[in-house]
Structure formats: C-alpha cells, structure tokens
C-alpha cells in the first residue's frame, strides 16, 4: 500500500496570525498534491523574539485558535496533520507544554505527545547556548505510538532525535512511520541533522518524517532547514532547501518497507 506523506518546512515569525496563514497555505499545497499525512515543524505557530513569548499564547488543552486552526485545516482538506509543536498551558505560570497533537482527516484530535527531552545545552565551538527548561515543561516519559490508515505512527520532537532508546521503544511498539518535527539550529543542523534523522530511520527500519524550521527568526536564531523524509534503508527520499517555507513529499510504500524488514531482519536479530 502506498500513500503520499509530507514534511512542511516553515520560517515562523513572532506573529501567530501570520504563521497560521502561512501554515494554511502550505497545508493546502500539500493537499492539492495528493498528500494524506502532513507534518508541521516544531514551534510552527510562533518563533518569538523572547523565549517567554510563548507563555502569552499558550492554550488550554483542547481549545484555542491554534488548535482550532489545525483541526479545521485537517477537516477541510481531508488530511491527517501532526501539528509540529504548539504551546499548551503548563503546570505553572512560567512553563508551557511543548505538545505535538495529531488530527485525523475528520479534524478530530486522536493523540498528543509532549516533548520528553529538553534542549538545555551549550554548543561546542560557539557562543550559542539554550535552556528550554526555563519555559518548557518536559512531558511524561510515555512514548506515543498510534494506529493510522497506513500503519503505526510514532511521535517524537527535535532534541528527541539524540536519544536512540526512545526510538527503539517506538519500534518495539510497532512504529512504521515516525514524526520528528524540529527547530534545529543551523550550527547543530550542519553537524548532525542528516546523520541523526537517517540513523533513526535506518536502525529502526521505519520511515522518519522530519520537518524543520528554516532561516533567521525574530530572536536572531538561525535554523537549519533541510526538512526531509528518510526511509527504512536510510535513504533521503525528499528534502527541502536551507531557507524558507516549502512542502516536500514522497510516497510511503508500506509493502517495500515490509520487504526490507523481512529480507534484512536486523530488529529480529537483536541480542539486547
């Protein structure tokens, strides 16, 4: 069975309304090209000038203009949408939940994953440092794998890519497709984006859909772009440019993936 899947790249701004307008245009483009599953990037609705900006637009779980926008787009286009991440009200006034909800083609939310691993790092060889835990509350260590019309769908976000144990759990739960919406910095993206996305796909014999932010944002942070889809053989089947909004898509062939897993049964050969 084959279905068309897409990674949607954005260069999100500090204005939610503008970002939703752009996301709507890109989702419409995906639907017009026969896409049935589209994945938005991390922080698609807001890349603010300050990390605390997200606190002002955080929504209650299940309601609010950002969530309504995604649900309506999914229903209008008959499209499954993984909504990158969006800010939901967190456990206290200083933190939001970095949530990655999934909407089916009827516009119903059927799952929601909160990012587990937070990007609290200094980047070697640069003056860059980040501390997501200042404004993000990490989700529970409960991996999310759900059923879809095209197989089992596993959910992850950005920095999660550096933790292979999470993806092994997703594989053990039967993930055929894994989403990894991101806002990878340009520095870390140059060094590790292709390596990590392709490796997570290859070692788990799954298809990874990894939409990224791209370009320079309101806080002067530069993200890497190169949104991509990698298959179970570790090949990049579709890839965006380094800047600007773009939709990239490919055919997910579940029969081919099953053949790879059957003929090259690395997962079945595990000893640990």
CATH assignment of the domain containing 191: 3.60.110.10
Alpha-helical runs (H) found in 115-185:
164-172
| Cβ atoms 179, 156 nearer than 8 A | yes
- Active-site option among 42, 59, 132, 239: 42
| Integer Cα distance of 141 and 32 in angstroms | 37
- Active-site option among 54, 112, 132, 158: 158
For residue 51, indicate whether it is catalytic.
no
For residue 131, indicate whether it is catalytic.
no
**Residue 90 backbone class (left: φ over 0; alpha: ψ -120 to 50; beta: rest):** beta
| Number of domains observed in the structure of the chain | 1
> pLDDT (tens digit, 0 to 9) for every residue of the chain, 272 residues total?
799 999 999 999 999 999 999 999 999 999 999 999 999 999 999 999 999 999 999 999 999 999 999 999 999 999 999 999 999 999 999 999 999 999 999 999 999 999 999 999 999 988 899 999 999 999 999 899 999 999 999 999 999 999 999 999 999 999 999 999 999 999 999 999 999 999 999 999 999 999 999 999 999 999 999 999 999 999 999 999 999 999 999 999 999 999 999 999 999 999 99
Which pair of tokens denotes residue 192? Answer: 């590790």
| Cβ atoms 260, 205 nearer than 8 A | yes
What is the span of the domain harbouring residue 124?
2-269
- Active-site option among 54, 59, 112, 115: 115
The predicted pLDDT at position 125 comes to: 85
The predicted pLDDT at position 1 comes to: 75
Q: CB-based burial of residue 268 (10 Å sphere; 0-12 exposed, 13-18 middle, 19+ buried)?
A: exposed
| Integer Cα distance of 162 and 29 in angstroms | 31
For residue 54, indicate whether it is catalytic.
no
The predicted pLDDT at position 152 comes to: 98
Full-model pTM: 0.98
């Amino acid at each position: 069975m084959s279905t068309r899947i897409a990674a949607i790249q954005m260069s999100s701004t500090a204005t939610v309304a503008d970002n939703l307008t752009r996301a709507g245009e890109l989702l419409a483009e995906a639907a017009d090209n026969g896409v049935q599953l589209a994945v938005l990037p991390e922080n698609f609705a807001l890349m603010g000038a300050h990390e605390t900006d997200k606190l002002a637009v955080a929504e209650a779980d299940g309601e609010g203009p950002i969530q309504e926008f995604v649900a309506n787009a999914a229903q209008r286009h008959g499209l499954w949408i993984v909504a990158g991440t969006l800010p939901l009200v967190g456990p206290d006034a200083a933190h939001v939940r970095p949530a990655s909800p999934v909407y089916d083609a009827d516009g119903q939310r059927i799952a929601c994953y909160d990012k587990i691993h937070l990007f609290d790092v200094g980047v070697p060889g640069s003056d860059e440092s980040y501390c997501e835990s200042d404004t993000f509350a990490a989700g529970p260590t409960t991996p999310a794998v759900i059923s879809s019309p095209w197989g089992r769908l596993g959910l992850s976000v950005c920095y999660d890519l550096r933790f292979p144990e999470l993806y092994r759990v997703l594989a053990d739960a039967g993930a055929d497709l894994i989403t990894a919406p991101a806002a990878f910095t340009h520095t870390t993206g140059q060094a590790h984006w292709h390596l990590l996305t392709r490796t997570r796909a290859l070692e788990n014999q799954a298809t990874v859909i990894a939409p990224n932010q791209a370009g320079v944002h309101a806080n002067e942070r530069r993200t890497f772009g190169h949104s991509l889809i990698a298959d179970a053989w570790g090949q990049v089947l579709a890839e965006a440019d380094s800047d600007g909004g773009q939709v990239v898509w490919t055919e997910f062939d579940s029969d081919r993936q099953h053949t790879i897993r059957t003929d090259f049964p690395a997962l079945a050969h595990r000893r640990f």
